[in-house]
Amino acid sequence: MPAADQPSPFPKILVCTDGSPDSEGAMKAALQLAQSTGSKIYLLEVIYFLAGYELQSPDTLTPPVINLELMQTQEKAVQERMEKRKAEAAQLGVTLEPRTRTSSSAYEGIMEEVAELQPDLIIMGRHGYSGLTRVLMGSTTARVIGHSPCHVLVLPQGASLNFERLLVACDGSSYSEAAWKQALTLVQIMGSALVAVSVATNDPEIPAAGKVVRSLALAAEKQGITLDTKIPVGRPEEAIVKAADSMQASLIVVGSHGRTGLMRLLMGSVAERVIGLASCPVLVVKKS
């Protein structure tokens, strides 16, 4: 729980939902966070009006037919879900503002809302896939992470959010520096324990990783924060997730290397792969 005189780390939270069980965890996490920090929740659901449009030939001259009756049915169902969520939030003392957008894709609708609202945090659920699909997460989540100007919190299906022990992954880059600063802020506000990990992909990289964690330990000490450190060896995403499991981390904090191109999205960045493999929530911090 944050100290009473501490400001909310995320005053405006945008929760992206599609009404599925996969997004249920995102809603629960937002409510919990808003209850403890006083954040305001904006709940967004995107209604698709050109479903399957990307499958059409670009040379097709006939515009796609929009089923207005189907759209009206979808809109009614969304409004009913939104009003139910608003009432649930009010019972918990949380302010929730429903938002709906009509767009050709979830990604476009989300990014339009982000541009208008300028939230401090986006919360999304992760589908309960396995194997390669799980690692790649799905194009919507990956694209939002790659292009969002604000932080993105992703919750695996069935996971809950708490800030008891944070694990922050650092590699000495400016992007991981942003993650480190955000982790320190959360520790100060939420009273969390903190673990810092710097991964060496092979044995010759261990000294460089050691230099990174020593620097972090010194910075934490200056702020009166106790820091545990680890230098695992291996593939970054696998080493980070394994360390989080062994240290019983409740939240992983990672940096994002700015905007990602199509090939990067298909391959999956380290942050995206960590999300695909982690059993706990992952906060992707964007460099300001």
Structure tokens at 187: 């520790």
- pLDDT of 131: 44
What strands, in cross-sheet order, belong to the sheet with 251-256? 96-103, 40-48, 12-16, 121-126, 151-156, 282-286, 251-256, 165-169, 193-197, 227-230
- CATH 3.30.230.10 applies to domain 12-286: no
- pLDDT of 67: 63
- pLDDT of 24: 87
Residue stretches of the chain with pLDDT short of 70: 1-6, 49-67, 127-139, 258-268
- pLDDT of 263: 41
Q: Using one digit for the tens of pLDDT, what is the confidence trace for 115-149?
A: 999 999 999 988 654 444 444 445 688 888 888 99
Structure tokens at 59: 């040379």
- pLDDT of 73: 81
- pLDDT of 259: 47
- pLDDT of 270: 85
- Residue ranges per structural domain of the chain: 12-286
In the numeric block, the tokens 């695992």 are attached to: 232
- pLDDT of 1: 53
